[in-house]
Structure 1
Amino acid sequence: MKYLLPGVLMLLTISTLKVQAQHQTPDSAALPGDNFSLQGALDLFKKAGSPEEFEKLLNTEDSKVNNLDLNEDGHTDYIKVVSKRENDVQIFVLQALVSENESQDIAVIELEKTGSENAVIDIAGDEDIFGEEIIVEPEDNQGNAYNVNRFSAGAGPDAEFAVNGIVVNVWGWPCVRYVYAPAYVVWVSPFTWRARPVWYRPWRPMPYTVYRPLRFRYRPHYAVVTTRRVVVAPRIYKPMRVTSVTVRTRHHVAVNNYRVTRKTTTVQGRHGRKYTRTTTTVRRRRR
């Protein structure tokens, strides 16, 4: 028995180390989008009274939503908001200033007024930042959702895409009412690489291990989904999408590794012969 005890202790130690390794938090972000919270951006839009105030909240250190440093100059990137309207659909593009000559879209908020006092919203993260298009929408945690007949033509143009027939009504958000007021003029941020607002104070990005738990605080109120609420938004957004060659070049390895996952396994064939088989999984880029 005394000879078995050291072996048992060694096995327990190895098992403990394996469990710790599985739950260990990575010390660096795998993708650029790991340093930006889509849920947090929607939450700031919910709190803001206007697109201009929303832009200010995005670029305030205390918000803990933006931790991007795409140009690696040691400071978080300024994110400007550029909006466009087509009938009852409005989009708000979140665009990072990378250099004097380059910008990079981070995400786009898609908003549609579907009734006199009804509106739906989602946010889609850019595939060059998040590896694929990530869509986030509010969850029904405040009793402001309504049922939608999945196949009813009278329920709005995007009713057939509703998940479980439940849509969160965001008409009560101050910024939503503001942008649908008769006197509203579409907001296009006037700020550039050289012309920043007087209130802006750039800050150094946090290490990913520090930022990671901070961005999780927004997650309970929002859900990642596979279909968008505002189905016409991509058509409006596509002609105005902006990408950066610098960002794509700097992060293309990480993004491609995320999109293509290869797994090699050893398979035993007939007559006991072994050979390796490689399985490649490709994440499709959404259009």
Structure 2
Amino acid sequence: MKTKLLLIALVALVFGSCAAQSQTTVYAKNSDISDNLDLRAVASMFGESANLQDFERRLNDPKYQISNLDLNGDNEVDYLRVIETVEDRTHVVIIQAVLDRDVYQDVATIDVERDNYNKVSVQVVGNTYLYGANYIYEPVYSVVPVIYTSFWVNNYRPYASAYYWNYYPTYYTAWTPYPVYRYRNNINICINVNNHYNYVNTRRSYRAPVMYETRRSYGYERMRPNYSFAQRNSNVNNRYELDQRRVASRESNRNNYNTNRNYNANRTSSSRPVSNENRVSNRNYAENRSSADRNSNTNRSTNTQRYESRDNAPRTENTPRAVSRDNNPSRENTPARTQNTQRAEPRNTNSNENRNSENRMSRPSSSPRNESRGYSENRSNNENRTATARPQQNTQRSEAPRASQESRGGQSQRDNNAGSRGGRRG
């Protein structure tokens, strides 16, 4: 088991190293050495410097981080030193990267020349090995740089940096180079937007190239002779054309993206009407269904109201039955009830009252609630009246036998008196 685990770990390490190598190769193809130092930022810093010593400090200040060059591959940004050569009214400022002991590589030069009319021209020229042939920026400063006043003075001494390999100023601290895309995004902060940086492909001064050849350093070119800009980019002449090609490729990619986006938008818009029609049809179907449900609900509510009105309405159909029951002549003419003539009277009165109550009930009222209320009140009144009438009938019934007994007793006494009288007479 342990051997299997070790084999798996080794295989994973091998694949991880292969993936890392593939990533580094892709990263190298997408970038160039010239991407690590923007000459427009160099020209901007030159116009803001007081003298060449201040200019060298600005180039290597960790606060600005103008450079991102690591030519010797030690994972530290190379220190850039500044040296100068002067002839009459022409100054050539050379920027060199310190790679090793007594090994330097020229990065760019700044040609400063004053004509007979005291007009100063400045050109920042990129090194041919790093930037290609005739890669030149000509800055136009919005304010006259202070550094001009330090060039044309009496007893002027050309500037030469005092720093070399492993001997740097105290303000300098080496930093790890950033990825190229981050450097491109951050370097724009260091470029003064008030100035103009015009690209040109010819040098103004004819003395500057000759003066430069006397102080030239090419240590990196010797280490990698087959890695010049012309060999790295065979389709373009210099860095400016490379930038133009990149811009064109970006625009083409953007146009392709926009066309694809428009195509997708048109495709989705062409497919949207059908879905909208379906939505409209579904919406109409839902509205019709909801209206049908509403109609059914209204019909149900009307039916329920009808049933409730029928339940709450007074039942006048039963009133003739009560009248016929009270006014039935067969019941009044029965021989069982002929003796109690007074018994029928309260029923007649009750029947009249019932008729009056029925007539009251049969009258139309303003609302079913009042009808039900009147009906319940009449019914309670009728019950109270019938309850009061029944004890009267009972009293009349009890009084009638008493009257008959009294009449019978009186008649028997009369017979007895008559017999006694006859006996006496006889």
User: CA separation in 1, counterparts of 2:58 and 2:113?
Assistant: 22
Matched with 2:184 is: 212
1:176 alignment counterpart: 148
Partner SS state of residue 68, structure 2: coil
Does structure 1 retain, via aligned residues, the 8 Å contact 2:44–2:192?
A: no
Q: 1:196 to 1:111 in 2, by over 3 A?
A: same
Compute the displacement of 1:194 (Å). Answer: 2.4
* 1:241, distance to aligned residue in structure 2 (A): 1.1
CA contact (8 A) 1:30 1:254 kept: no
Task: Say whether residues 1:37 and 2:38 are aligned partners.
Answer: yes
How high is the TM-score relative to the length of structure 2? 0.45
Aligned residues: 209
Q: Name the amino acid aligned to 1:107.
A: A
What TM-score results when the alignment is normalised by the length of structure 1?
Answer: 0.66
Aligned match of 2:171 = 199
Partner SS for 1:30: coil
Pairwise CA RMSD:
2.5
CA distance in 1: counterparts of 2:118 and 2:229, whole angstroms: 43
3-state secondary structure, aligned to 2:158: coil
Distance 1:238 1:254, change over 3 A: closer
Decide whether the 8 Å contact of 1:74 with 1:205 is kept in 2.
yes
Higher deviation after alignment, 49-58 or 117-126: 117-126
Amino acid at match of 1:33: S
Tell me, yes or no, if the aligned pair for 2:62 and 2:172 is still in contact at 8 Å.
no
1:127 and 2:99 aligned? no
Say if 2:129 and 2:221, in contact at 8 Å, map to a contact too.
no
| Structure 2: distance between partners of 1:86 and 1:185 | 11
Q: Deviations over 1:46-72 (max 9, x none)?
A: 111010000000001232321101111
Higher strand share: 1
Does 1:283 find its partner at 2:283? no
Distance in 2 (CA, whole Å) between partners of 1:40 and 1:248 is 28
AA matched with 2:179: P
The whole-number CA distance in structure 1 between the counterparts of 2:165 and 2:27 is: 30
Structure showing greater Rg? 2
Residue 228 (structure 2) pairs with residue 256 (structure 1): no
CA shift at 1:189, angstroms? Answer: 0.5
Contact preservation (8 Å) 2:81, 2:163: yes
Is residue 57 from structure 1 mapped to residue 32 from structure 2 by the alignment? no
The answer for the alignment partner of 2:110 in structure 1 is 109
- Structure 2 unpaired stretches of 5+: 1-25, 239-426
Contact 1:27/1:209 (8 A) holds in 2: no
Shift of 1:255: 4.8
Residue 216 of structure 1 deviates from its aligned partner by: 4.1
Q: CA deviation at 1:214?
A: 2.4
Question: 1:115: Cα distance to partner?
Answer: 4.2
String of CA shifts for 1:10-38, please: whole Å, max 9, x gaps. Answer: xxxxxxxxxxxxxxxx9556321210011
Deviations 1:230-265 (A, max 9, x none): 23210111122110146751870765031x23xxxx
2:134–2:202: 8 Å Cα contact kept in structure 1? Answer: no
TM superposition shift of 1:101: 3.1
Distance 1:253 1:245, change over 3 A: closer
Deviations 1:168-222 (A, max 9, x none): xxxx211111122225321000111022112211111111110012234538531
Structure 1 residue runs of 5 or longer lacking an equivalent are: 1-25, 145-171, 262-281
Contact preservation (8 Å) 2:31, 2:180: no
Comparing 30-39 and 246-255, the one that deviates more: 246-255
Q: Report if aligned partners of 1:27, 1:208 keep a CA contact under 8 Å in 2.
A: no
What does residue 208 of structure 2 align with?
233
Aligned counterpart for 2:197 among listed residues 180, 204, 222: 222
2:158 pairs with one of 169, 186, 195: 186
* 8 Å contact from structure 1 (residues 64, 214) kept in 2: no
What is the DSSP-based 3-state SS (H/G/I as helix, E as strand, rest coil) of the residue aligned with 2:115? Answer: strand
